[in-house]
Amino acid sequence: MRDMRLLLLIAAIVGVFLIVRTLLLSNSRRKAPLPERLKEQGTVVRCAHCGMHVPQFEAHRSGNRMYCSREHALEDARNHQDG
Ligand SMILES: [Zn+2]
């Protein structure tokens, strides 16, 4: 009878330990910091070629103008050269 109680006590301690460990692990996972990029998404610029709005960190700069892609920056530069 005494051995049975001891086994139940050990099982209870192990159970509590596992529950606490699971809670601690899920907590630390939820606290993961937001990517830096998300914070910068507030700033949006307009492509000087097609007028599309893109986040500043994704925009391509050419002189004073901003573009949605490198292709549009090159294309616009080529158009200006031809006149
Ligand atoms: Zn564009």
Residue 58 Cα to ligand 1 midpoint, Å, equals 12
Residue 59 Cα to ligand 1 midpoint, Å, equals 9
For residue 62, what is the DSSP state? E
Residue 69 Cα to ligand 1 midpoint, Å, equals 6
Name the residue ranges covered by the structural domains of the chain: 1-32, 41-82
53-71, pLDDT tens digit by residue? 999 889 999 988 999 999 9
Please, is 77 exposed, middle or buried when counting C-beta atoms within 10 Å of its C-beta (0-12, 13-18, 19+)?
middle
The pLDDT confidence band at residue 20, using thresholds 50, 70 and 90, is: very high
Residues 6 or more apart whose Cβ sits within 8 Å of residue 6: none
Q: Check: pTM over 0.75? Answer yes or no.
A: no
Tell me the two tokens of residue 72.
């549009």
